[in-house]
Structure 1
Amino acid sequence: MKSTNNKAPLKLSTLAICISALYITPMTFAANETQAESDIETIEVRGIRRSLEASMNTKRFADGVVDAITAEDIGKFPDKNIGDALQRISGVTVDRQYGEVNGVTIRGTAPEQSRVLLNGQTVASTSWYDLGPATRTFNMELLSAEQVSGVAVYKTPEANIEEGALGGTVNLTTRKPLDLDSNTLMVSAELAQSSLYDETDPGASVLASWKNDDEKFGILAAYSYEQLTSGRHVLESIGGYYEYFAADQATGQDSTVGAWSLGSQAFKSERERTSAQLTAQFAPTDNLEFVLDYFRFEFDNPHVNHNFLTVGARGAGSTNVTNNGLGGTERATITPAYASIIYNPVVRNAVNMKADVLNLSGKYQGDGFEVSGVIGKSTSDGGTQFGASSWWIPASDEGGKIGDPAFPNGQNSTDGGFTYDATGPYQVWLTSLDATDASKFKHAQEANFDTTVQEHNVSYAQADLKFELDGDTFTAIKAGIKFNSSEFSRVAFNRNPDEVLGFVPDGNLANWSDGVLSGLHSQSAGHTLNAYASLDTNKWWDFISGKYAAGELTEVANLGNTFSVDEDIIAIYAKADFSGENYRGNVGLRYVETEQTSRGYAGGAVYNKTVDYSNLLPSVNFAYDLSDEIILRAAASQVMSRANYSDLKPGLAINANFGSATGGNPDLKPYEANQADIGIEYYFTEASMASAGFFTKQIDNVVFSTEGVEFVDGCGASADLYDKCRVTRPRSNGEGSVNGLELQLQHSFDNGFGVVTNYTYVDSETTTPSGSKEMVPGVSENSFNASLFFENDIISTRLAYNWRSEWIGVGAAQAVKNDDYQQLDASIIWHAMENLDVSLEGVNLTNEVVQSYDTNFALTQNTIEFGSRYYLGVSYKF
């Protein structure tokens, strides 16, 4: 395999060098423009109605297509989670993995193809999930909603906004001390509970802001703490669908096609999230301002995943098989075999993510010009370390461990039989075993998943210059340059020995159990496996950690899953604002050069690959006032989005005997798209509007994992076959298209009632290298949101409904289609005193489930129940 070990210098075009020389001035740090324009009309918000007016106002006066969410007051963001709030914006759907939102899909593109910025800048981000890919998605679980004052979703780009989004850019803004009253103090406390687990958890937040008498200097400090015991209950299939028992012509028995096993999962996590902010703002004159921000976000997620597996693929055979028209087995009886039933509890105690952000900005307003800049650094680390994953099988199964040498001809089972039905939420009937009796199980094996440690460091410096113009058409010219350095790494370890067999004293589960898990899958009717004996996971973890301490268990490097991706990026832009009678807008050009170095391992040896590419990204946004109330909008642009870090992983796993290899691909091109928008907005009162918009995107360089013939040293039985190696890796060999329609309606009545609603239609598909058409994972064709609210001087109350149509699952072992999903949330705030509020909020009130099916055989994949969440809170503002 060829490699590049020398890091090539980053190439600068002549234009980049000129602009760099012009703007590396004493003002190398200043504020990045994070809102549509600084001259947007400001509205002081109080209450739901005023918050909606402010959000509508941002949309109305923006040059591009922008939607916004504004906090009505300090600590009063309209949802518990930033992602929960974003789902109420047209064109946005959200991804839920463990109850809370952890990613957003904007306008028919995958979550990793949207950008999430904090005060206009990238935040380093990692994840805790050890089995997931390393993407560029900002994990919404990391950020509390308490300190966010507003969210803007830019659906059309502008040249001064950082590149990297195909769908849209989400910008989260925080508060500054000079914008608040001096000696502002807000404190709040709450109790939270999930319907899945009978535990009540605390939360609290405080925000204090001070400024001196002449309002030249101010300091703001904020801290929030949230704890929630939650998780999910899942009826699931594990492993891809395949034929594990062939048809028996002698008996007339059909073949058995299904997943490796069916599971009854109870995932319980004790989430703890902290968020801290310290901001100093100094404005020595009316023309000069400096802001220093420090943020720290931390998310701990220790968890236990109980799973009772009925393993059809480990059975001795099948009877009473019923198959559907696609050949998938809808119902079968599995005859017992060794470990055809497995109780598998997984304990993960060291699970966390954290991020630190330090940002210094400055701005000087001169006579007809403005110079600004920013320097900053963001770091993040996260992952899942250590853990335990044990197998407990029927006590009647022969042998004390898997592969027991006392049974050279195999081990047998008498109690491992079961019957299952896969036409809806999984139904399971055990032939003879009592799942709730711990004495009927014994320990057979201990293993664990990889330990993964992720680190991400981002450094940036930016300078911007704006000139006001006196022309009849162009009103301002802006230009700037930004340097961005990103270093992402993922280090993986395996435990040695990989599997530990038969090392448990008193190996009957009755000696290690803490009772019975019950009340599972409350939303799934039928004969579900809703109760079984459970392991005392605290006792078990003490035992396993003792093995680590004694040196009986160690961790060794897993080079195959260890890699890093470093990127050096320089971007320059120029943008012109224009306006005239009844129209306004901007036109701009952003030029970006990226140098990317990927490091990994191939055959145990270090492998480096450096590539560089550039993108020229023009954009134009136009708004025309047909009347004082009606605005016509149009926009066109070219955008790009870089590939996932996991896909860029270098190195190959080579199978020389078969002349094949698998791996990542450092040569992946960035996704590129041409897009256009046209829309109309009608503002028929100060608090009411209706709008319709059409958008289209044509996407190139879509990544698919495909096989191709390459030269790979060592791949083949002899050297003359190395150039014929069949390599399976992700390649930029697909294309896609998105066409969509967005409709919005917002109206506030004079009697305190109001309604906010929107509908989005998205026709989104990709074309594979073979020419077939596929839905984009994570994208629903239809989505609908509606919120009804009422408020007066005593109460503010809201009922919010969210619905999305079916969508293809992301990251599944096989193609999975999810049924449509709906969710109902509600909140009520009692203004008990002038500055005292008491609130009650419910999320997913009806405890809806996500139901998914395998698309190849039309068999059930997952039935996921997240439970309802409830919050009782009190807040006081001094």
Structure 2
Amino acid sequence: MAAEAADAVAVGTENIEKIEVRGMRASQKAAMNEKRFSNAVVDAITAEDIGKFPDKNIAESLQRVAGVSINRGFAGEGAEVSIRGVDPTLTQVQMNGQFVASTAWFSQGANRRSFNMDLMPSEMISGLEVFKSPVASLDEGGVGGTVILHTRKPLDLDTNTFFASAEANTNTLADSEYGLGGSALFSWKNDDETFGILGMASTLESIGRGRKAENYWEEGWSASGIAGFDQDRTRDAFDLTAQFQPSDALGFTLHAFRTELDATNTNQNFLVIGANGATMTNTANARIAPNGLPLSGTVNDAAWLAQDTNTRRAKMTSTVIDLRTEYQGDGYLLSGVLGKTYSDGGNGGNANGLWGQPINAATGITVDVDMDLADAMLLSPNGVSLSDASWQAFQGSSLAESKLEDEEVYGQVDLKLDVDFGAINSIETGLKLRSHEFTNRQFGATLGDTSQITNISQFDDGLLSDFDEVVAPGTPTEYVKIDGLAYWHALNDAVTSWDESLSNYGKIEEDVFAAYVQGNFDGDSYRGNVGLRYVKTKTEGSAYNGNLTEIDTFKGEYDDYLPSFNLAIDLADDLILRMSAAKVMTRAGYSQLTPGYRGLPDTVPESGRYQTSRGNPALDPFRATQMDIGLEWYYDESSLLSFAVFNKDIASFITTTKIFEDLTEVPVPHLYEVSVPDQGRGGKIEGFELQWQTSFDNGFGALVNYTYVDATGETDDGEPIRLPGSSRNQYNITGFYEHDYFTARIAYTNRDEFTAEGTALGNGNDVFDAQDFLDASVTAHITENFDVSLEGVNLLGEITYQRHSTGAETVRVITDNGSRYTLKASYRF
């Protein structure tokens, strides 16, 4: 049924060679086999053997698919997927063909529609598909493409299947700290194979680190600093599936999934704040920034040397429960699904603190933030030591909490009819209804007596170190570390009341109706499908009016007709010519639609930056017309050489611009820098991808791919703009060796510069420099059922650079996320 697109539309199952997947080479062969017999442009990753998914992080596996690249989160882990140079927010991610509600923990981060794949344990995945071309029976929403994750089912496994694993992981920046985890799966079915039940539980603590140099010297508040980000996340996930097959014709599947993430984190930034060019002692021949500040010299006064600390007790949950049924009649297949998915999350309360003292002639700080020339930053205090807590006096605090809720109820029915209309052998049609609600709220704490907090030494937790790779020689590479949770509790204990910030309130209600018809055809040397999907979207946004006295509503409505065509021609037994064309759309993200202001401060911001963002529920979606043509040569049973050319003509897209608004009816009236969605005029993405995959008889194998993308766009005013997610060149090289006693894999990934949402204060898109990552793993097969593996991620210790997206080459953030290692033991029978 369309709810599980791979089963219904991607694969001609009657043609597929059945493969028993028990190792890496067999898994690669199965994925290639799925691509070969699909009717659409599809790539796959299979893991039929439990625990054999190639990476701990699903996104990091996807980056090795041709045409796929990823963005990395605050701790350097794979987070978002870009397909063929398209903004990762336009990649649709589904579980078993359905949307999964999720929320974000970072209060300045955008709330999107895609499920964060890091919330799904890889052990729960039997495989995934990357749809680069749509079909009418597949949910709309992926201008870039659609990724479908498939969970396991008990009737597909042997009865009494058992799997268990235990692991430990660390980060080279973690000072001998380790995260522990484990998972267990049990699947049972009766002798008649009419009923089965599968349960799986997983828990994992992961160690995430970031060491950064941050440069805001030219952005109006004259600040730069060295920041440390520590996040020890704990993810608990549960999956339960029951199948009932009372007859060969009738089947029911009940699936429940829940993941909980404790994403508690502390970010510390030692900053020079509020430098004044008139009082600086400038370096000879120092360059001058656009705001008039010299880029190198000594800051003498009229500024602060201070730590800005933020601890967030962030938590998120995502839950899915649905019931699927399928009936195979005489010449038809009728199927349906009813389900609900919901999520809640937020920052859990952000405890902010400012610690330090004003700069004077005795405690000046020498700076060199000319980072477009030297790609490094110098901050050298002259009169104090950053490792000394005694002078770091308490200067102010705040405690604010963001709360997010996301929910969708869905129902669909699908019918597939066997017909004999010439080349058309079956017709599929169906209806789907979705009702969605997203809510954003923010609360500020009124703090009582905090006089007992006087100095950061009260929360001393040693030293924060390992900044050597991101700063210039002469900058301190360690400073006082705060016990963030202890400080959070100290502020929380001082709370006298919590008050909702009405100006931050926003709600989006969205109703979607979809209907489609699709014809599937084949002949002696060709196969494919042609179809049309119709979608009506109604949106209602709610936010408080300017006087904060009542809620105003704003409505939007639009229709989309989305034709699609896929054709595969067998030029020879081993040579396939593949063509596709379609219209695609992606709705705007919830942050872009929500009319209320987001992230307004409840107190005067310590940084001195008055920033917020708001959306517009009347925004049109992203729309594009796409075409591609490719040639695939399967020159032996485990080898593939392919070439594909693709084009996306983007009729409309949404970008972000910044304006200044004088906000008066808000907790802190001021002139604010406001990030608002901006309707782009259009753009074009063109490129090609090459792919080679093979396995040799001696146990070695390789996967190599290269993608070229030329992406251009214009704002509504006709100004050229960088399209997020696009690297002109990217390639992946993976080599592996498989033996009866061990398996080894090494993978190298490289991509050119690209634009993406940054991790700097104020957020927005930044330009990231070219990146390359090297990962490796080795698994020892101790017995037939017992494995021990070691995985290393970012073995090269890649340092990432992000620059202003305005065209200036000045570096905003330099980040070292360290290398990650995981030692794992697993047992199955």
**Shared fold by TM > 0.5?**
yes
Stretch of structure 1 that moved more, 456-465 or 602-611: 602-611
Stretch of structure 1 that moved more, 467-476 or 862-871: 467-476
Q: CA deviation at 1:733?
A: 4.1
1:129-278 pair list within 5 angstroms: 129-197=106-174, 198-238=176-216, 241-242=218-219, 260-278=222-240
Residue 741 of structure 2: aligned partner: 794
Secondary structure in 2 matching 1:55: helix
Q: 2:556 aligns with which of 605, 611, 621?
A: 611
Residue 297 of structure 2: aligned partner: 333
2: CA distance, partners of 1:511 / 1:619: 64
Residue 836 of structure 1: aligned partner: 786
2: CA distance, partners of 1:466 / 1:474: 12
2: CA distance, partners of 1:105 / 1:803: 14
Q: In the alignment, residue 11 of structure 2 is paired with which amino acid?
A: E
The answer on 1:381 being equivalent to 2:349 is no
Q: In the alignment, residue 532 of structure 1 is paired with which amino acid?
A: Y
Deviation per CA, 1:288-311: give whole Å up to 9, x if none. Answer: 111110101111111111211122
Q: CA deviation at 1:184?
A: 0.5
CA pair 652-299 structure 1, distance change in 2 beyond 3 A: closer
Residue 252 of structure 2: aligned partner: 290
Residue 60 of structure 1: aligned partner: 36
Contact 2:362 2:382 in 1 (8 A): no
1:352-371 pair list within 5 angstroms: 352-371=315-334
TM-score (norm 1): 0.86
Q: CA deviation at 1:861?
A: 1.1
2: CA distance, partners of 1:67 / 1:823: 22
Q: CA deviation at 1:768?
A: 1.3
Contact 1:839 1:874 in 2 (8 A): yes
Secondary structure in 1 matching 2:246: strand
TM-score (norm 2): 0.91
The answer on 1:437 being equivalent to 2:388 is yes
Q: CA deviation at 1:47?
A: 0.7
2: CA distance, partners of 1:52 / 1:377: 34
Stretch of structure 1 that moved more, 206-215 or 815-824: 815-824
Q: In the alignment, residue 202 of structure 1 is paired with which amino acid?
A: L
The answer on 1:487 being equivalent to 2:437 is yes
Q: CA deviation at 1:610?
A: 2.0
Deviation per CA, 1:728-757: give whole Å up to 9, x if none. Answer: 953434211110111100011110000001
2: CA distance, partners of 1:312 / 1:116: 43
2: CA distance, partners of 1:325 / 1:763: 34
Deviation per CA, 1:330-378: give whole Å up to 9, x if none. Answer: 74123332552111222222x1111111111111111211111111111
2: CA distance, partners of 1:662 / 1:296: 31
2: CA distance, partners of 1:153 / 1:621: 15
Residue 632 of structure 2: aligned partner: 681
Contact 1:607 1:650 in 2 (8 A): no
Q: In the alignment, residue 290 of structure 1 is paired with which amino acid?
A: F
Q: CA deviation at 1:773?
A: 1.6
Q: CA deviation at 1:133?
A: 1.8
The answer on 1:846 being equivalent to 2:799 is no
Secondary structure in 1 matching 2:44: strand
Q: CA deviation at 1:509?
A: 3.4
2: CA distance, partners of 1:752 / 1:442: 63
Q: 1:774 aligns with which of 715, 721, 745?
A: 721
Contact 1:30 1:363 in 2 (8 A): no
Q: How many residues align?
A: 793
Q: CA deviation at 1:572?
A: 0.5
Contact 2:557 2:618 in 1 (8 A): no
Residue 37 of structure 1: aligned partner: 11
Residue 19 of structure 1: aligned partner: none
Secondary structure in 2 matching 1:284: coil
The answer on 1:348 being equivalent to 2:312 is yes
CA pair 99-709 structure 1, distance change in 2 beyond 3 A: closer
Contact 1:201 1:227 in 2 (8 A): yes
Stretch of structure 1 that moved more, 374-383 or 469-478: 469-478
Residue 575 of structure 2: aligned partner: 630
Q: In the alignment, residue 69 of structure 1 is paired with which amino acid?
A: I
1: CA distance, partners of 2:148 / 2:308: 42
1: CA distance, partners of 2:614 / 2:187: 52
Q: CA deviation at 1:149?
A: 0.8
The answer on 1:111 being equivalent to 2:101 is no
Q: In the alignment, residue 374 of structure 1 is paired with which amino acid?
A: V
Deviation per CA, 1:225-257: give whole Å up to 9, x if none. Answer: 11112221111124x724x6xxxxxxxxxxxxx
Q: CA deviation at 1:651?
A: 5.2
Contact 2:767 2:803 in 1 (8 A): yes
CA pair 315-515 structure 1, distance change in 2 beyond 3 A: farther
1: CA distance, partners of 2:705 / 2:129: 17
Q: CA deviation at 1:526?
A: 2.8
Residue 621 of structure 2: aligned partner: 670
2: CA distance, partners of 1:685 / 1:737: 36
Residue 415 of structure 1: aligned partner: 363
Deviation per CA, 1:465-494: give whole Å up to 9, x if none. Answer: 111123441111110111111111111122
CA pair 511-201 structure 1, distance change in 2 beyond 3 A: closer
Q: CA deviation at 1:778?
A: 2.7
CA pair 637-703 structure 1, distance change in 2 beyond 3 A: same
Q: CA deviation at 1:667?
A: 1.3
Larger Rg: 1
Identity within the alignment, %: 39
Deviation per CA, 1:431-474: give whole Å up to 9, x if none. Answer: 222111111221111124x4111111111111111111234411
Q: In the alignment, residue 776 of structure 1 is paired with which amino acid?
A: L
Residue 403 of structure 1: aligned partner: none
CA pair 512-414 structure 1, distance change in 2 beyond 3 A: farther
2: CA distance, partners of 1:862 / 1:728: 20
1: CA distance, partners of 2:710 / 2:436: 34
Q: CA deviation at 1:706?
A: 6.2
1:87-126 pair list within 5 angstroms: 87-97=63-73, 98-126=75-103
1:581-592 pair list within 5 angstroms: 581-592=524-535
2: CA distance, partners of 1:64 / 1:578: 12
1:611-760 pair list within 5 angstroms: 611-650=556-595, 663-705=614-656, 729-760=676-707
Contact 1:777 1:807 in 2 (8 A): yes
Q: In the alignment, residue 334 of structure 1 is paired with which amino acid?
A: T
2: CA distance, partners of 1:103 / 1:523: 24
CA pair 293-417 structure 1, distance change in 2 beyond 3 A: same
2: CA distance, partners of 1:707 / 1:278: 46
Gaps of 5+ in 1: 1-28, 245-258, 399-411, 655-660, 716-725
Residue 82 of structure 1: aligned partner: 58
2: CA distance, partners of 1:420 / 1:58: 55
The answer on 1:859 being equivalent to 2:810 is yes
Q: CA deviation at 1:515?
A: 2.8
Q: In the alignment, residue 415 of structure 1 is paired with which amino acid?
A: T
Q: In the alignment, residue 201 of structure 2 is paired with which amino acid?
A: Y
Contact 2:288 2:295 in 1 (8 A): no
2: CA distance, partners of 1:81 / 1:825: 12
Residue 669 of structure 2: aligned partner: none
The answer on 1:602 being equivalent to 2:545 is yes
Deviation per CA, 1:515-572: give whole Å up to 9, x if none. Answer: 3222334466633431112233344233222202xx2xx3321222210111111100
Contact 2:736 2:744 in 1 (8 A): yes
Residue 404 of structure 2: aligned partner: 454
Q: CA deviation at 1:68?
A: 0.4
CA pair 469-323 structure 1, distance change in 2 beyond 3 A: farther
2: CA distance, partners of 1:709 / 1:446: 26
Gaps of 5+ in 2: 601-611, 666-672
Secondary structure in 1 matching 2:282: strand
